[in-house]
Structure 1
Amino acid sequence: MVQTLLECSGITKSFGGVPVLKGVDLRLEPGTVTALAGENGAGKSTLMKIVSGQYSADDGTVSVHGSALAPGNPRDAVRHGVAIVPQELASIEDMTVYENLFVGRELRRGPFLNRRAMIAEARETLGVFDVAISPTARMGSLPVGLRQIVEIVKAARTGARVVMLDEPTSAISEREVEGLYRIVRRLRDQGVAMVYTTHKMAEIRAIADRVVVLRDGGLILDTPIDEVTDDEIVTAMIGRELDALFPQRPEPGTDTVLEVRDLQVDGASGPVSFSVRAGEIVGLAGLVGAGRTELLEAIFGARRSTSGSVQVRGRPVKRNQPAAAITAGMAMVPEDRKLNGAVLSMSVLDNGSLPRLSAFSLAGWLRGKARSTAVSDVMSSVRLRSRGLGQEVGTLSGGNQQKVVLARWLTGDVSVLLLDEPTRGVDVGARSEIYRIITEFAANGMAVLMASSDMPEIVGLSHRAFVMRAGQLVGELDRDALDHPAVQESVFRLATALDEAPTDAPENQEAAS
């Protein structure tokens, strides 16, 4: 029988009288990766902070090898081999890698720091995990993914037997994710019990031996990963069937709202032509680098196009001028809401009025009441969950941040909505609300053009979809094609030119003969 390494029993926690955890039980075994899944607000981070001693539970116990941890005592958790790598990294960016690895545990020779010994040991430790980082590199010079790996190695170097990672891929690239997986698997093979919080199905399948799902503070699912389907995990997370994620698509109209003709995006291999009708949701599928983002930005005027035309309701829109696109009735929700979509340090009110400040101005003065009323109305229409218009957007959940970026365009007339990865970084439950908002926009007559790398999203929302490759449209899928079981294979073949024969094949055959 496998011995339990860490056990949580009946963990209960409330904040301000609001229950966050409701009698949660959790057992971790050595040499396993447990995916702790759930929507934002499910209680995942709170549970990990209780285990690591950052919070005290109102009721319940945490024990390691049968020895109870002192509540709310991080040092006791560390002494028992429990480490946490938070979503917001705690590394000291102005210090070197080796200094971060040894902070609080410095090697000394008499009264002096033994830097040579620390550098040598840091190099050896990093080498054990196949991490190609110089120990003398400044932490702030490393990408987020490598800084995260240093934090994990630091936990392992201190002898941690339980390592908890809180949303570890939220701010790193796909290439860095593979490096993270490699470190997690290495620690698992060394007998460490790993906890990996996420709401991404691909990550759960790629890394977990077991999946635990929290919903509304309660334990809903706890099972080996090979004994549960994706649909069952999602249903446990959101409390309803996966099909309920996507609302019924509205019937599109007959009037063309957006018309793109021979638009040559700077850097694309050829021009693009298509149209979108009122009430229609058109998807843009393709591989990374296919040119979907570039096309949306060019239509909106935020990326240079060298020729062609864009029309909204039959009227031409000046190319390369976002202000002209906004005036014509276009709205754009960018891929990276934190970088290009919302100003995180500003309030909901300020973000909600950013695209149309002139509409709330009179003789150079803001009409405060009119602005507050308009922003309040549109935020209510998307069911924004916030403490009020004065709350900083950066303190909202990912789903509510995206609602702010979507809703702020509704303070004016919008005919065309351009969406770039509309649910990236948004948990499963919040996705359902985003999808509802998008379909409501379409039902009100907007033409929606949506780029997404999530095929279920393309299939679930779109009336039809285009496949892109090298900046061009290489295929169109109608509703019947989107409903076909082999739709993913069809998209992949179009996106990779898998079915296209090499252009020099006839010449090669003649030469061979």
Structure 2
Amino acid sequence: MAFGGVPVLRGVSLALRPGTITALAGENGAGKSTLMKIASGQYRADAGIVTVRGETLQPGSTADATKLGVAIVPQELASLEEMTVYENLFVGRELRGPWGLRRRDMIATARENLESFGVDIDPSRKMGTLPLGLRQIVEIVKATNTGARAILLDEPSSAIAAREVDRLGAVMRKLRDSGVALLFTTHKMEEMRSLADVVVVLRDGDLVLESPMSEVSDDDIVTAMIGRELDDLFPDRPTTLGETVLEVEGLQVEGSPAPVDLTVRRGEIVGLAGLVGAGRTELLEGVFGMRRTTAGTVTVAGRRVRRNDPASAISSNVALVPEDRKGAGGVLSMDILDNGTLPRLASFTTAGWLRGRARREAVGAATRSVALKSRGLKQSMETLSGGNQQKVVFARWLVGSVDVLLLDEPTRGVDVGARSEIYRIVTELAQQGMAVVMASSDMPEILSLSHRALVLKGGRVVAELDRRDLDAPDVQDTIFRLASGLTTDPTTAASTSTPVTPASAPAAASKESAR
């Protein structure tokens, strides 16, 4: 299978067995989503066949895939948000009677189907009002209702909360126990370990590893994914810090219960830790001017930045890499060159005309600095892997000067190899003198990259941990208890901590467990 002459899959053979969960791993761009789309009839492969229980799938036919019992739950859900849950479950196969739709029967059946998977929601509720995790489960229930015996899940946990991941895992196990074959993609090693019976690894379109999960180590999987051993996921932090470059005093984000004070020095990486909804994104967007603030000041290199004015932040050399790289980080329909100059277009314009050569040189230098893998500056951003899309979002700020770099979940949805490269980029930029503020839900990122960490809860900074605190053996328990409100004193949190279950605890902090 190739796109634009570039091979995406090469001679891949894979068998899914009933009653088995298979994890499909690989770097962004390895061919995982393409393989799923071929197996579900969305793409027509250049060669090869797909068989389902001995019957050959008609190439490029989603209707035939559904008929044979293959269903896919894509990363970008295709649910009808303005329709109800029961209408989504029965779309295309509605129950009808002599007087029209049998809505009462559909609602009752939908409730039974949902309850069989431990989901207690009103079937008459609009799909768009459900959390993403529940919408995914409704899509899975719909697949089982159509008789699916092989269900393909593309990055099912990439954008859902921890409690929803637990519920999704329970649904997947229940399906496995009923004899369904499941294939899912994930970048999270702990999810592979907790759910998968078999792991399959793709690298550059080739199948390079297929093994029972119990017979392979985390390092084996990572090495298969990236083609080399990953000795050090996290590079060394800069050791020399300069003068204070970012000063935030009394910044009151609209809707937040308390103002925030924050200072960051050149070369320093300050982590923002906290649970979902803690206010980390709101703080970063408030500093950048994207989210309304009602009081306080932001000063960069001694210069006051106008509040609620992103243009003032950009002119003051403040850059923001947002959490949603597809929705807010870049314009996927545009090419790398146009994305690379979006925030600083005026710098490449003279009398209303774009200076093409200057643009190409600046964007070319910036993309080389982040080791972007592409076919050239005219390649559409939507054709890049997730990790390379994130590199473009980094690179577009580097066509000009940056004093303060704000990062919101910088490695969300990227594979371990791309993570390693992004960590290198972050530490190198700090080494060059940038002040970095990084919000992350990945505890190893906070613990391994940060010089200091602020713990947020409900929009308030409830604790500040220095490097000595972050090196403490019980620090993940300390941060969890601070972030959840179980304690307000970081010096006593560890000594009073109780065991935290994996479902609610931050990920293990060591480099070894982060691989």
Q: Look up the SS of the partner of 2:358 in the other structure.
A: helix
C-alpha separation in 1, matches of 2:444 and 2:147: 42
Q: Look up the SS of the partner of 1:199 in the other structure.
A: coil
C-alpha separation in 2, matches of 1:113 and 1:500: 56
Work out whether 1:422 is the aligned partner of 2:414: no
Deviations 1:82-121 (A, max 9, x none): 3223334445667665565455556666998777766665
Pick from 371, 381, 400 the counterpart of residue 393 of structure 1. 381
Work out whether 1:149 is the aligned partner of 2:146: no
Match for residue 323 of structure 2?
Answer: 335
Match for residue 278 of structure 1?
Answer: 266
Change (3 A) 1:324 1:119: closer
Q: Decide whether the 8 Å contact of 1:331 with 1:409 is kept in 2.
A: yes
Structure 1 residue 417: deviation in Å? 0.8
Q: Decide whether the 8 Å contact of 2:290 with 2:310 is kept in 1.
A: yes
Pick from 332, 340, 344 the counterpart of residue 332 of structure 2. 344
Q: Decide whether the 8 Å contact of 2:381 with 2:389 is kept in 1.
A: yes
Change (3 A) 1:320 1:102: closer
Match for residue 448 of structure 1?
Answer: 436
Match for residue 399 of structure 2?
Answer: 411
Change (3 A) 1:209 1:316: same
Change (3 A) 1:267 1:249: same
C-alpha separation in 1, matches of 2:60 and 2:286: 53
> Bigger shift: 339-348 or 192-201?
339-348
C-alpha separation in 1, matches of 2:139 and 2:286: 40
Structure 1 residue 207: deviation in Å? 3.0
Match for residue 3 of structure 1?
Answer: none
Change (3 A) 1:61 1:345: closer
Work out whether 1:292 is the aligned partner of 2:289: no
Unaligned runs of 5+ in 1: 1-12, 502-513
C-alpha separation in 2, matches of 1:17 and 1:346: 20
Match for residue 239 of structure 1?
Answer: 227
Work out whether 1:181 is the aligned partner of 2:169: yes
Match for residue 439 of structure 1?
Answer: 427
Q: Which amino acid aligns with 1:207?
A: L
Deviations 1:476-506 (A, max 9, x none): 43434434443322322333454458xxxxx
C-alpha separation in 2, matches of 1:343 and 1:478: 38
Q: Which amino acid aligns with 2:275?
A: L
Work out whether 1:36 is the aligned partner of 2:24: yes
Change (3 A) 1:147 1:280: closer
Q: Normalising by structure 2, report the TM-score.
A: 0.81
C-alpha separation in 2, matches of 1:451 and 1:434: 14
User: Larger % of strand: which?
Assistant: 1
Q: Decide whether the 8 Å contact of 1:417 with 1:449 is kept in 2.
A: yes
Q: Which amino acid aligns with 1:311?
A: T
Q: Decide whether the 8 Å contact of 1:252 with 1:277 is kept in 2.
A: no
Deviations 1:230-261 (A, max 9, x none): 44433332334444332333333332222334
Change (3 A) 1:59 1:445: same
Structure 1 residue 387: deviation in Å? 4.2
Q: Decide whether the 8 Å contact of 2:270 with 2:436 is kept in 1.
A: yes
Work out whether 1:491 is the aligned partner of 2:482: no
Q: Decide whether the 8 Å contact of 2:40 with 2:70 is kept in 1.
A: yes
Q: Look up the SS of the partner of 1:283 in the other structure.
A: strand
C-alpha separation in 2, matches of 1:235 and 1:439: 23
Q: Which amino acid aligns with 2:247?
A: E
Structure 1 residue 415: deviation in Å? 0.9
Q: Which amino acid aligns with 1:329?
A: N
Change (3 A) 1:305 1:64: closer
Work out whether 1:211 is the aligned partner of 2:202: no
Q: Decide whether the 8 Å contact of 1:337 with 1:402 is kept in 2.
A: yes
C-alpha separation in 2, matches of 1:459 and 1:159: 46
Structure 1 residue 19: deviation in Å? 4.2
1:77-476 alignment, distance < 5 Å: 77-91=65-79, 100-102=88-90, 105=93, 121-122=109-110, 124-132=112-120, 144-174=132-162, 176-476=164-464
Q: Decide whether the 8 Å contact of 1:300 with 1:330 is kept in 2.
A: yes
Q: Decide whether the 8 Å contact of 2:187 with 2:413 is kept in 1.
A: no
Change (3 A) 1:120 1:467: closer
Q: Decide whether the 8 Å contact of 1:284 with 1:452 is kept in 2.
A: yes
Structure 1 residue 281: deviation in Å? 1.8
> Bigger shift: 72-81 or 244-253?
72-81
Q: Decide whether the 8 Å contact of 2:79 with 2:127 is kept in 1.
A: yes
Change (3 A) 1:57 1:365: closer
Structure 1 residue 192: deviation in Å? 0.9
C-alpha separation in 1, matches of 2:61 and 2:297: 64
C-alpha separation in 2, matches of 1:123 and 1:293: 36
Unaligned runs of 5+ in 2: 490-515
* Identity, % of aligned positions: 67
Change (3 A) 1:122 1:277: closer
C-alpha separation in 2, matches of 1:312 and 1:157: 57
Change (3 A) 1:294 1:118: closer
Q: Normalising by structure 1, report the TM-score.
A: 0.81
C-alpha separation in 1, matches of 2:205 and 2:327: 31
Change (3 A) 1:484 1:220: farther
Q: Which amino acid aligns with 1:215?
A: R
Q: Look up the SS of the partner of 1:26 in the other structure.
A: coil
> Bigger shift: 30-39 or 139-148?
139-148
C-alpha separation in 1, matches of 2:3 and 2:352: 44
Structure 1 residue 172: deviation in Å? 4.6
C-alpha separation in 2, matches of 1:492 and 1:93: 34
C-alpha separation in 2, matches of 1:234 and 1:40: 13
